Amino acid sequence: MPSSNDTRENEDSANDQPPPSRVIEPEEVAEVPCLPGHLFEVLADVRKRYALYYLQQGDGRGTLTDIADQLVASRATTAAGNETEKKHCHVYTALYHADLPKLADCGLITFDCETGKVTAADKFDAIEPYLHFAQLAEPNDYEQFRGQLNDNE
């Protein structure tokens, strides 16, 4: 007969388990707007992945400046003001010239480079399982990012 300590240990270990995985159905895969290689390349890049998190956590809309601000804030340690400005300039430039155009080319977002407006594309929801997997794989970084988003609202 198990003791009450055994029961408590089993409950604790059950709480430490990741949520059950779910099967991605073939019709869901058909909805993904780009090839798997492109999608995984996008998700492997921190700035691109966090730009997608930003859109996922909001209403699917944002601006280049807001996304850059959020990325810098979530990655900031104890950098001095001048160092943070340099980092922001670097992140903004990389998002503008490389990351957001790549996400647009993959069909995940629309990006207006003149206004800086970024919008999740129609099939953005199809990548939710992949974003969820990435969030589970990097829980501390993702929670810090979400915390910064909530602090800025």
Six token digits for residue 119: 């919008």
Share of the chain above pLDDT 90, in %: 35
CB 87 within 8 A of CB 68: no
Query: Distance between CA 7 and CA 91 in Å, rounded?
Result: 49
Could you give the count of Cα atoms lying within 13 Å of 20 in the half-sphere of its Cβ? 2
| pLDDT in the model for residue 151 | 62
User: Which CATH code for domain 33-152?
Assistant: 1.10.10
| pLDDT, tens only, 52-89 | 999 998 899 999 999 999 988 877 654 555 667 888 89
